[in-house]
Amino acid sequence: MRLRKYLFVIGFLFVPVTLYVVFVIAPYVQAFQISMTSWRGIGAPKWIGFENYRKLLDDGSFWKAVEHHGVLLVALPLITLGIALFFAFLLNVGGRASGGVRRGVWGSKFYRVVFFFPQVLAVAIVAVLFQTVYRPNESGLINGVLMKLGLDPVLFLIKPGLALWSIIGVLVWQAVGFYVVLFSAGMANIPGEIYEAAEVDGASRVVLFFRITLPLLWDTLQVAWVYLGIAAFDAFAIVNVLSVDSGGPDGATTVLAVEIYRNAFTYQKYGYASALGVALFFLTITFAALALRVTKRESIEY
């Protein structure tokens, strides 16, 4: 009987596990293998051991990209989750109580659709859209208004100190709607009696948020933080389309995915690009493991 159960489970798992090994695990292993070679995409690779990794440690572009990922890892989750939590709270329990049940603000169902709309758009479309928003002349959405008011245009994507933050703004705009919906689903599972009891004790909305909503949403918040951290290690499409000269100006917005693309398809250094990819893989895995470890806490039952 037990043998039949194991055979049944293996039968169901065999195909998906095989596909995962072939299309996910095998490419990672192959990337590590290529990273140990000097290869231009044609001909036989030349084995050079860890030379690409030694070169990587002395590469200023690599460390600049890592620095930018550090900024993204802090700014993107904090800003996105802060905005998403605020709006989700308003849409679910920020309105007046009706029949003893606290509801969201007026029109909350419509606002959920509006917030989620950026998720419907492809990443490339979002990047092209914000190219129009950030244009440094009168044809730009923002600078067109500023120039009509007699103000100087803002060089969002040209000024090195502002370019990365302009791109972070796009990433936040694109991501916040998904997390509003995610947190709304979590808040919908919190019993209304808890809010009602707290209000009877005189709790304000600020107290409701920090003492009830936030602790009971901690597991969802933890997962969201990891997702956004992984997104911070990617950001290739937005940076590649929006930035000046793919990661510029002067490397002010470069990320590891852009460096991988440049080394592989511009310089034909596939071995070095693979080494960068392996480094990105381990950085992402390390962040996810640390984030889950640091934010781990006991679940609250209700």
CA distance 20 to 26: 9
Q: For the chain, give every domain's residue range.
A: 60-294
According to CATH, the topology of domain 60-294 is MetI-like fold (1.10.3720)
Q: What is the mean pLDDT of the chain?
A: 83
Decide: 219 and 299 in contact? Cβ < 8 Å. yes
CA distance 238 to 160: 16
Q: Which amino acid is present at 174?
A: Q
Confidence (pLDDT) at 98: 56
- Pick left, alpha or beta for residue 140 (phi over 0 → left; psi -120 to 50 → alpha; otherwise beta): beta
Taking Cα atoms as reference points, which of 276, 301, 295, 206 lies closest to residue 66? 276
Question: 134-157, pLDDT tens digit by residue?
Answer: 988 888 889 888 888 888 888 888
Mean pLDDT computed over 165-175: 92
Decide: 115 and 176 in contact? Cβ < 8 Å. yes
In this prediction, residue 181 has a pLDDT band, given cuts at 50, 70 and 90, of confident
What's the pTM value of the predicted model, to 2 decimals? Answer: 0.84
210 pLDDT higher than 90: no
With a CB cutoff of 8 Å and minimum separation 6, the contacts of 163 are 156, 157, 243, 244, 248, 249, 252, 253
